[in-house]
């Protein structure tokens, strides 16, 4: 069998050449990293859960007309996606203060914001993905003003969808990060949601208890990350039927 070509390996995912031009296979690893990979671990089953969860969110976005890269899930850890040109920005939407915003502004985590706030970081690991104003983005040509208007509109639609879905299962969407890709139809360019949407890239708090159900569990050593992600998947009804933690055969006495 011909070995497929690895095109890119990131901290949590690998991209392989897809079966047809314009497609890629996105593989979800079990690796968890935080603080620009200064903290690392392998969380058994995380890749399986994120593959399912990203499928669930992207499929929902498609259903409400928000264009995204997802085509279909291939297996436990892989999905077929559209190849895009990634815009080198992390697009962050915040509903409540947390993380870097809470720190920067001295706000208590969980403080409601007056409206959803969209901000951009420049995707560059060596620089630690610095927060950048729109001026920089346009001046350096990472995106045009028109692109940014479209990206903000997309991000706010994703926010409304995600906040509503999560609210329905008793979870508050504090904030999240998405990435945007360009696809070309002849001379026309469209912007679509790409990368992944999973508890790796969101902050999710249980509405009743405030329990964190996202990657902050790993960042802040708050307990089992796979338990937290499994809880999110269970509530959304997307838990894989197979046992997610067993990656090797185990002896049953």
By the criterion CB under 6 A, which residues form the site for ligand TMP?
A: 92, 98-101, 129, 175-177, 201-203
Residue 39 phi, psi (nearest 5)? -115, 130
CB of 108 to ligand TMP, least distance (A): 14
Which residue lies nearer to ligand TMP by CB, 161 or 176? 176
Which residue lies nearer to ligand TMP by CB, 4 or 40? 40
CB of 83 to ligand TMP, least distance (A): 21
CB of 76 to ligand TMP, least distance (A): 22
Which residue lies nearer to ligand TMP by CB, 59 or 100? 100
CB of 174 to ligand TMP, least distance (A): 7
Please state, in angstroms and as integers, the Cα–Cα distance from residue 32 to each residue in 169, 194, 200, following that order: 25, 20, 8
Which residue lies nearer to ligand TMP by CB, 18 or 151? 151
CB of 217 to ligand TMP, least distance (A): 12
Which residue lies nearer to ligand TMP by CB, 104 or 245? 104
Which residue lies nearer to ligand TMP by CB, 16 or 122? 122
Residue nearest ligand TMP by beta-carbon distance: 99
Instruction: Check the CA dihedral 42-30-220-240 and report its sign.
Output: negative
CB of 242 to ligand TMP, least distance (A): 27
CA atoms within 13 A of residue 227's CA, in its CB half-sphere:
8
């Amino acid at each position: 069998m011909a070995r497929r070509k690895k095109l890119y390996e990131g901290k949590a995912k690998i991209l392989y050449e897809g079966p047809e031009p314009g497609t890629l296979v996105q593989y979800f690893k079990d690796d968890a990293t935080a603080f620009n990979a200064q903290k690392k671990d392998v969380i058994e089953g995380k890749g399986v859960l994120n593959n399912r969860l990203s499928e669930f969110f992207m499929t929902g976005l498609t259903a409400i007309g928000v264009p995204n890269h997802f085509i279909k899930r291939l297996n436990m850890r892989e999905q077929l996606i559209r190849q895009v040109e990634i815009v080198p920005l992390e697009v962050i939407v915040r509903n409540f203060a947390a993380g870097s915003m809470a720190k920067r502004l001295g706000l208590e985590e969980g403080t409601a914001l007056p409206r959803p706030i969209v901000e951009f970081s420049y995707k560059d690991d060596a620089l630690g993905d610095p927060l950048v104003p729109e001026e920089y983005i346009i001046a350096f040509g990472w995106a045009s003003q028109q692109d940014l208007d479209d990206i903000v509109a997309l991000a706010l639609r994703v926010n409304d969808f995600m906040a509503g879905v999560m609210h329905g299962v008793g979870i508050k969407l504090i904030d999240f990060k998405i990435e945007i890709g360009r696809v070309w139809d002849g001379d026309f360019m469209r912007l679509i949601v790409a990368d992944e949407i999973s508890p790796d890239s969101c902050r999710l708090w249980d509405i009743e208890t405030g329990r964190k159900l996202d990657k902050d569990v790993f960042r802040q050593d708050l307990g089992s990350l796979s338990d937290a992600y499994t809880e999110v998947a269970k509530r959304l009804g997307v838990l894989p039927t197979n046992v997610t933690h067993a990656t090797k055969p185990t002896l049953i006495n």
